[in-house]
Structure 1
Amino acid sequence: MRGNLDAEAIEDLEETLKDELGQVREENQTVAQRQRWITAGILVVSTIQALMLAGIL
């Protein structure tokens, strides 16, 4: 009987960990998307600065 309870607890823990992993993956994707947008913004600002320094803007 005790062995079955332990197995059930392990299964519950496994499901919980899978759910948590799914959430972490979603959060990582969101962070990665924000990083891409920030990088793109920095590139735009840097390009504008370079054009201003060159006297084009």
Structure 2
Amino acid sequence: MDLKMLYNPFYGSEKLNPEEGETKEIGLNTRIDDKTTFSAHYFRTDSDNLIGFNNVT
């Protein structure tokens, strides 16, 4: 990406900190018998310094 565009007043600022995040996931799949399976999954995502876009301005 062109740095002129990255720090253009319409697209960003040199003073912006990058977004940070963390994702955790765990899952379990098991076959109980020939006709039955069991699945359980957990997902969690945390983020800081979100950078959004406002298409109105």
Normalising by the residue count of structure 1, what TM-score does the alignment of the two structures yield? Answer: 0.25
- Say which structure is richer in strand: 2
- Say which structure is richer in helix: 1
Larger Rg: 1
